[in-house]
Structure 1
Amino acid sequence: MSERTTHLLVDGENIDATLGGSVLGRRPHPEERPRWNRLIEHAEEMWDQPVNGLFFLAANDGMPMPFVQALLAMGYRAVPLRGEGKVVDLAIQRTAEALLDREDDVLLVSHDADFTPQMTALAETEGRRTGVIGFQEFMASSLRAVPGIEFHDLEYDVHAFTSTLPRIRIIEIDEFNPLDFI
């Protein structure tokens, strides 16, 4: 492994909202939620370096201790936030801006266009690798337009789910399996 670090910035609320609202059309059952440990493993393997997994969550209604303990056991640092407005977005934006002064690489786990200015600035730094992980079909077009960012699908590339989600996606003909449809 290299001496560089990948900072994995997880917007769990955004992923959960997209999964429930856009993919499933309802609140996800526990077995339908991402296996967050697979995300850290994918990030480590992807760029062959240590990962600093930061999982940002709103804690205005108190600390969700069972979830926080599970995150800690998987190697994440939980970042519970309280305040007015979109505290998770604000914290991720500030973290991304602080990373401009470091040579480390950055992976954002979100679909949110609010992070486009920060991801653009990070991607413009020569030698830095940047990426976004989420559901490809729901990724903000402004994030997709940032040159130099790698995109990874949470289900198909990261394999963060234990069952197949009901998604419609464009299939490369070389990957097409008619048995998936009959």
Structure 2
Amino acid sequence: MTERSTYLLVDGENIDATLGISLLGRRPEPQERPRWNKVLTFAEQAWQQPVKGLFFLAAPGELPATFVQALLAIGYRPVPLRGEGKVVDIAIQRMTEALVGRDADVMLVSHDRDFAPQMEQLAANDQRVGILGFGEFMAGGLRDIDGMEFFDLEYDVAAFTSRLPRVRVIPIDEFNPLDFI
């Protein structure tokens, strides 16, 4: 019998685009991107089971060797893809469909509503599902799935080395006036 595991599916393009376009208004610098090792560690600790990290990325030209080597070094399995259309979305959708009914749970790192039907199918199959991202940019279709757990990349995961310029509704119990001084 195999041990239950979590599949951590990373839509790197979606996170990079949200960070760049929606938060920073420019292409993120390397030090402004998530510390992907922290995301992997968080996933393992959050659900107390082994994690298989798959990092999906479009590679229309040459393989981004330096980035791929860094991902391998911290424990991810890179999934570089080439083809017509939104290859990363297609691959993640196929992956989630393949996981339905397996002894596995799924955490998705994305904001994209395109994955809602597959995540809903996993949840309906009594598999644990979670989403990691920025709450203010999360697609409603993902948030509306019964049983979906949400983890904020900055506040829950602590995946960044510096504070991001975010504007969000703050629950009064979390309000710290020192954050605004």
Classify the TM-score, shorter chain: over 0.9
Q: Which residue number in structure 1 is paired with residue 111 of structure 2?
A: 111
**SS, match of residue 130 in structure 2:** strand
CA distance in 2, matches of 1:170, 1:106: 27
| Residue identity opposite 2:50 in structure 1 | P
User: Which structure 2 residue ranges, 5 or more long, are not aligned?
Assistant: none
- Structure 1: where are the runs of 5+ without partners? none
CA displacement 1:102-151 (0-9 Å, x = unmatched): 0211000000010011000001112x211000011000011111111000
Structure 1: which 4+ aligned runs deviate by more than 6 Å? Answer: none
Match of 1:163 in 2: 162
1:96 to partner: Cα distance: 0.2
1:34 aligned partner: 34
Cα pair 2:101 2:125 within 8 Å, conserved: no
- Residue 164 of structure 2 corresponds to residue 154 of structure 1: no
Q: Secondary structure at the match of 1:101?
A: coil
Whole-angstrom CA distance in 1 between matches of 2:124 and 2:156: 25
Structure 1 residues 31-55: Cα deviation after superposition (integer angstroms, max 9, x where no partner): 1010000000000000111100000
Q: Tell me the CA shift for residue 179 of structure 1.
A: 1.3
Query: What displacement does 1:171 show?
Result: 1.2
Check the 8 A contact 2:39/2:159 in 1, yes or no: yes
Give TM-score scaled by structure 1 length: 0.97
Q: Which amino acid aligns with 2:72?
A: L
TM-score when scaled to structure 2?
Answer: 0.97
Q: Which residue of 2 aligns with 1:100?
A: 100
Whole-Å separation in 2 of the counterparts to 1:161 and 1:66:
20
Name the residue aligned to 1:82. 82
Identity %: 69
Aligned-partner Cα distance in 2 for 1:25–1:75: 30
RMSD: 1.0
Q: Separation in 2 of the partners of 1:54 and 1:153?
A: 19
Between the aligned partners of 1:124 and 1:61, the Cα distance in structure 2 is: 38
Q: Distance in 1 between matches of 2:101 and 2:145?
A: 20
State the Cα distance separating 1:101 from its structure 2 match: 3.0
SS at match of 2:115: helix
| Whole-angstrom distance in 2 between the partners of 1:97 and 1:68 | 25
C-alpha separation in 2, matches of 1:38 and 1:10: 13
* In structure 1, distance between residues paired with 2:72 and 2:57: 13
> C-alpha separation between the residues in 2 aligned to 1:141 and 1:175?
23
One-letter code aligned to 1:158: V
Aligned residue in 2 for 1:63: 63
Task: Give, as a single letter, the amino acid of the residue that structure 1 aligns with 2:91.
Answer: A
Structure 1 residue aligned with 2:174: 175
- Count the aligned residue pairs: 180
SS in structure 1 at match of 2:173: helix
How many angstroms apart in 1 are the aligned matches of 2:145 and 2:175?
A: 29
Q: Name the residue aligned to 1:17.
A: 17
Give the secondary-structure state (helix, strand or coil) at the position aligned to 2:83: coil
- Corresponding residue number in structure 1 for 2:6: 6
